[in-house]
A and B are shown apart, each in its own frame.
Chain A
C-alpha cells in the first residue's frame, strides 16, 4: 500500500543526504585548509619573497602576480563580454545562426583550461610576441572567462522583464536609452555574479598561466606587464610536486591565501550586489 507520509519521508531523507554529500566535502576542505594553513600565516609569510629554494620565506610575489593576472583578465574580459552580451540579448535577431553562436559560447565555457593555455601560448606569446608575460597571461585568462561572463550577463539581461523595455520605448526612449537606463541597471546583480564566477576561475586555474606567464621561481616583483610573474596556483603546484621537502605548513598556507583571496573578491562583489539590490526596490 502507498503511504504518502512514508514516501515523503524517504524523499526528504535522500534530498538531505545528497545536499550533505555536497556540503560536507566542501566544508571539510575549507576546515582542513584553515586548520593547517592558518598557523603558517604571519606578516613575513605574506610580505616576504620565497627563500631557500621556496622552503622558507613568504609568497608575496605570487600573491601580487595573481592579483595582477586576475585584474588584467577582468579589465579585458568584462567590457568585451558585457558588450557582446548586450548585442546578443538586445540587438541580434533570433535566427539559427545566432542560436548557434549562443550555444557555441555556452559550450566554450566547458573547454578544458589547458586548451586555453596552449591557445594563449600560440597567439599571445608566440604570434603577437608578447613573450611569457603578465599581458599574455591576463589575455589568456580573459579569453578563458569570456564565455562565463557573456553567458551569465546575457541571462541577466534577458531576465529583465520585456514589459520594462516596452514601456520605456513607448515613452519615446530610444533602444540604447532603454538599455542604458532600464535594462542594464536591473541586470547588474546578474552581471556581477558572472564576473565573480569568472574571477574565481581566473584566480584558481593553473594550466592557462603555465605556458603564458607563470615563473617557477622569481623572487622579485614584476616591473611591467611584459614581465613574467609568479602566481599562487602555479606556486602551489610547484611547492607541492616539484620541490622536495617543502614544509606542509607552507603548502597549506599558500592554499589558504589563495582561498582567502578568492573569497575576499567574492565578498566585495556580494557587497556591491546587495547595494544594487537595495537600490532596485523591487
Chain B
C-alpha cells in the first residue's frame, strides 16, 4: 500500500484546470521523481500533498488524496499535523534569518510545550547529523544561518524537517540553485534518507530523476501521462509523449 495515493485528483486555479484526473501511488521508502516541462503542474501536484496550494486564492480541488489512508482534502483535515508529517524543501534554500540552532529547533519551539534544553540540543545534533552537517557546524551553532553556503543552507532546511519528524519529504527542485558537486552530494543524502522517509522530488533535470529515483512520473499539461518504475520509463517509455520528452524532442 502506498504512503500517498491520489485518486482522480483535479485542481483548478480559478478557471484554469492545472491538474487533470491524476491517479498515482507514492511508495514509502522510495524516491519518486516528477518530471515534465515548465507549467505542467508538477509543483502544483507536490503542493497538494501538504495543502500549500491553500495559500493561493481561488484554488479548487476534487478527487481524493490519501496520506496514510486518510483523505487530506476533507474539510476537517488538521493542516498542522499534516504539514508536520509532510515536510517541504523549497527550490531556493530558505533558512530563517536566525541562528543555525534556532533554525533546527523552530518546529520544536512551535509544536512542543516547554522542551528541556538538553533535549533540544539532542534534536539539533541528531538532525544535523542526519544531513551530515554536524561535524562542520557543531562549533558554529549560534552563527546566523544566512552565512552558510547554498548547499549547507539546503541541508539545514532538510534538517529542520527531520527535527519535526516528518515522514514524507517533498522536494521542489531542491538542487536547481546548486552547483554540480553540491547537487551530487544532496542526491547522495537523498539516497540515505530514503531508508526512513518517503521522498517525492520535482525536477527539471531528467538526469537527476534517472539518477536518484525509484519511480518516475511524467506530467504534461496537468496530466500524469506515465507513472512507472524509473528504469522502465527511461528505457522503454510506453507513451509517445513521454518518449518525445525523454529523448529531448520536447520542452
Alpha-carbon distance between A171 and B87 when the two chains are bound, in angstroms: 6
In the complex, how many angstroms separate the beta carbon of A98 from the nearest chain B beta carbon? Answer: 13
In the complex, chain B residues whose CB is within 8 Å of the CB of A282:
97, 144, 146
Chain A contact residues, majority secondary structure: helix
Contact A280 B52 (CB under 8 A): no
A172 CB contact (under 8 Å) in B55, B96, B110, B157: B110
In the complex, how many angstroms separate the beta carbon of B12 from the nearest chain A beta carbon? Answer: 19
123-168 of chain A: CB within 8 A of chain B: 163-164, 166-168
> Is B8 close to A, CB under 8 A?
no
In the complex, chain A residues whose CB is within 8 Å of the CB of B147:
281
A281 CB contact (under 8 Å) in B52, B57, B99, B164: B99
Contact A281 B144 (CB under 8 A): yes
Contact B96 A182 (CB under 8 A): yes
Interface locus among B78-86, B204-212, B214-222: B78-86
Interface locus among A64-72, A112-120, A173-181, A264-272: A173-181
Alpha-carbon distance between A87 and B99 when the two chains are bound, in angstroms: 28
> Is A42 close to B, CB under 8 A?
no
> Is B37 close to A, CB under 8 A?
no
Contact A171 B97 (CB under 8 A): no
21-74 of chain A: CB within 8 A of chain B: none
Contact A164 B106 (CB under 8 A): no
Alpha-carbon distance between A59 and B229 when the two chains are bound, in angstroms: 85
Give the size of the chain B interface in residues (CB under 8 angstroms): 33
B97 CB contact (under 8 Å) in A172, A173, A281: A281
User: How large, as a class, is the contact surface on chain A?
Assistant: 10 to 19
> Is A254 close to B, CB under 8 A?
no
Alpha-carbon distance between A93 and B164 when the two chains are bound, in angstroms: 31
In the complex, how many angstroms separate the beta carbon of A199 from the nearest chain B beta carbon? Answer: 27
> Is B238 close to A, CB under 8 A?
no
204-250 of chain A: CB within 8 A of chain B: none
In the complex, chain B residues whose CB is within 8 Å of the CB of A168:
96, 106
Contact A186 B87 (CB under 8 A): no
38-72 of chain B: CB within 8 A of chain A: 50, 52, 55, 57
In the complex, how many angstroms separate the beta carbon of A250 from the nearest chain B beta carbon? Answer: 50
In the complex, chain B residues whose CB is within 8 Å of the CB of A177:
110
> Is B185 close to A, CB under 8 A?
no
Contact A163 B110 (CB under 8 A): no
> Is B149 close to A, CB under 8 A?
no
A167-204 interface mask toward B, CB cutoff 8 Å, 1 = contact, 0 = none?
Answer: 11111111001000110001000000000000000000
Q: Which residue of A is nearest B81, CB measured?
A: A172
In the complex, chain B residues whose CB is within 8 Å of the CB of A171:
83-84, 87, 106-107, 110, 160-161, 164
Contact B50 A281 (CB under 8 A): no
In the complex, how many angstroms separate the beta carbon of B126 from the nearest chain A beta carbon? Answer: 17
In the complex, chain A residues whose CB is within 8 Å of the CB of B145:
281
A170 CB contact (under 8 Å) in B50, B111, B146: B50
Contact B164 A172 (CB under 8 A): yes
Alpha-carbon distance between A56 and B147 when the two chains are bound, in angstroms: 60
In the complex, how many angstroms separate the beta carbon of A278 from the nearest chain B beta carbon? Answer: 10
In the complex, chain B residues whose CB is within 8 Å of the CB of A280:
97
> Is B88 close to A, CB under 8 A?
yes
Given contacts A282-B144, A282-B146, contact A169 B52 (CB under 8 A): yes
A-B contact pairs, 30 of them (CB 8 A): A163-B90, A166-B52, A166-B90, A168-B96, A170-B50, A170-B87, A170-B90, A171-B83, A171-B84, A171-B87, A171-B160, A172-B79, A172-B80, A172-B81, A172-B82, A172-B84, A172-B111, A172-B164, A173-B106, A173-B107, A173-B110, A174-B80, A174-B110, A181-B109, A181-B110, A280-B97, A281-B99, A281-B143, A281-B145, A282-B144
Further pairs besides A166-B55, A168-B96: 15, Cβ < 8 Å? A163-B94, A164-B94, A167-B96, A167-B157, A168-B106, A170-B87, A171-B107, A172-B82, A172-B83, A173-B110, A181-B109, A186-B97, A281-B143, A281-B147, A282-B144
Identify the A interface with B (CB < 8 A).
Answer: 93, 163-164, 166-174, 177, 181-182, 186, 280-282
